[in-house]
Every structure is written in C-alpha cells, then in structure tokens.
Amino acid sequence: MPTIALKPGYAGPQQDTEDKFHGNRLLYICWDEHLLFCSPVALPLPPAMPFGALLTQVLAGVYGSHPDFAKLDWAQAQWTHGGEPFKPDPEKSLADNGLVHKSVIRFRTPGLRGIEGSCS
C-alpha cells in the first residue's frame, strides 16, 4: 500500500542508492552462530574485488578477534545469499558472484559454534 499523503502519487527520493557510495556497493555479512558480533556487518566494497580477497583481507579484519576465527576453514563455510544457497567463486569478483548493492550474505562454519558452543 502506498503512503496516504496530502498529494496523490507522493514519492520520496531513495536515500541510499549505489551512486552515493564512491564507487563501492554495500554488502551485509553475517557469521551465523557467532553472536559476539551483535548483528551483520555493513561494508562498502568495490564490486570488482575478488570474493577470495573479501575472505582473506576484509573478513580477517572484521572477525579476526573471535576465538573461532583462527580455526575457520573457508572451504568448509556454507553460504546463503538473500536466503538462497550460494556457492561463491573466490576467483571471481563480488559482482560476478551475483552480489548487488545491499546484498545480504550469511555463512555457517560447521563445527564452529561460538564461545563454548553458545553461538556467541
């Protein structure tokens, strides 16, 4: 249903379009069962960045402080993109892996379930 406004056909500007992020697109990433990180993180990333670089360069900085991170084997990680199963190719870019502006990707790390298995 549209907004009931004084003038019919009211529409506001979309605030967070991709062109406002200086050549980056937003990506939201959630490490499931690791709620020490209270929510998914939001990252502005170049669409041409290889997915593998996201893992080794970016996420190491994001999640490196978690005690499970040292045990993490990216080859075992199970991904979803927008709720659908997702098999990222680490050689390909974020864009070529189908990730668009404001995509949500989640990953599970079998065997690693957070601090004392509490999903923290």
Partner 1 sequence: MSQTSTAAKPAKRLGIKERYAMMTRGLGWETTYQSMDDVFPFDQFEGIKIHDWDKWEDPFRLTMDAYWKFQGEKEKKLYAIIDAFQQNQGQFNISDPRYLNTLKLFLTGVSPLEYAAHRGYAMAGRAFRGVGARVASQMQAIDELRHCQTQFHTISHFNKYFDGLHDPQWMHDRVWYLSVPKSYFEDAMTAGPFEFVTAISFSFEYVLTNLLFMPFMSGAAFNGDMATVTFGFSAQSDESRHMTLGLEVVKFMLEQDPGNVPIIQKWIDKWFWRGHRLLTLVAMMMDYMLPKRVMSWAEAWDIYFEQNGGALFQDLARYGIRMPKYHEIATAEKQHLSHIAWATFCNYGHAADFNTWVPQPDELDWLSQKYPDTFDKIYRPRFEWMAAYEKEHGKMWRNDTLPMLCQVCQVPCMFTEASDPTRISLRETSYHGMKYHCCSDGCMDIFNDEPEKYVQAWLPVHQIYQGNCFPEGTDPTVPGFNPLAAVLDYYHLKPGADSGDFNTSPDRRNWERWTGQDLTPPTDEVKAA
- Cα 81 from Cα 99, distance rounded (Å): 8
Nearer to partner 1 by Cβ, of 75 and 83: the residue is 83
Nearer to partner 1 by Cβ, of 31 and 51: the residue is 31
Residues in touch with partner 1 (CB under 8 A): 1-6, 10-17, 20-22, 24, 26, 28, 30, 32-33, 35-44, 61-62, 65, 67, 82-83, 100-104, 114-116, 118-120
118 burial (CB, 10 Å; 0-12 / 13-18 / 19+) is: exposed
- Cα 19 from Cα 10, distance rounded (Å): 23
> How many residues are listed for the chain in this entry?
120
Nearer to partner 1 by Cβ, of 35 and 53: the residue is 35
What is the nearest approach in angstroms of partner 1 to the Cβ of residue 42? 5
